[in-house]
Amino acid sequence: MKRAMLSMAILVAGTVTATAAEIAPNDVVFNDGAVETPLTDKPGDPAAGRKVVGTKSLGNCVACHQVSEMSDVPFHGEIGPSLDGAGDRYTEAELRAIIADAKKVFPDTVMPSFYKTGPYIRPGKAFTGKAPDGPLPPLLSAQQIEDVVAYLKTLKE
C-alpha cells in the first residue's frame, strides 16, 4: 500500500512536471514573428537538433533546405532558402517561431507547420493515405523544436 502510494505520488509529480515544462501547440504565443518563451524548460540540444534536421523520418528539413555544414547527409533540396547563416540572420525567438509555425511569420510559405495540431484539410495517418485514428500530434515535439532551434543557432556565416 505504501509502495503503491509512493509510485502514485511519483506518477502525479511526473505528470505535473511534464505539463509545467511544455507549452502546448495552441498555447504558443507568436509576437511579431517571434516566440520568446522556449516551448520546454530543458535547453535545446544542438546535436539532437542536427539529427532532426537531417533525418527523413524526423524533421527532414534537408528535403527543402540546403545546409553546408551537413555535407554528410546526401541530397539537399532547393525549395526553401539555404539554412547557412540562419543563426546570424534570425534571433532565437524568430527561429522558434519559424520552425513551430512558419505560416505565422511568412503567411504564404509552403513550409509545413511543425508545431501545430490542426485544423487541416483531409488530415491523414502519416504517409499511409488513410484517415487518422484520432487527433494528430504535431509533426515535431516541443523538445525537438527546441533542439532544432539550438542547432540552427550554431549556423553562422
- Binding stretches for another protein (CB under 8 A): 33, 56, 60, 62-64, 74-81, 89, 103, 106, 108-113, 120-132, 136, 139
- Cβ 100 to another protein shortest distance, Å: 14
In angstroms, how far is the first alpha carbon of the chain from the final one? Answer: 60
- Whether a cis peptide bond, with omega within 30° of 0, leads into 119 is yes
Closest CB to another protein among residues 13, 110:
110
Angle between helices 46-54 and 142-153 (to 10 degrees): 100
Closest CB to another protein among residues 49, 138:
138
- Of 51, 53, 27, 57, the residue nearest 40 (C-alpha): 27
- Cβ 75 to another protein shortest distance, Å: 4
Q: CA torsion, points 157, 143, 125, 28, in degrees to nearest 10? A: -90
- Cβ 22 to another protein shortest distance, Å: 20
Residue linked to cell 525537438 = 144
Closest CB to another protein among residues 31, 106:
106
- Cβ 154 to another protein shortest distance, Å: 20
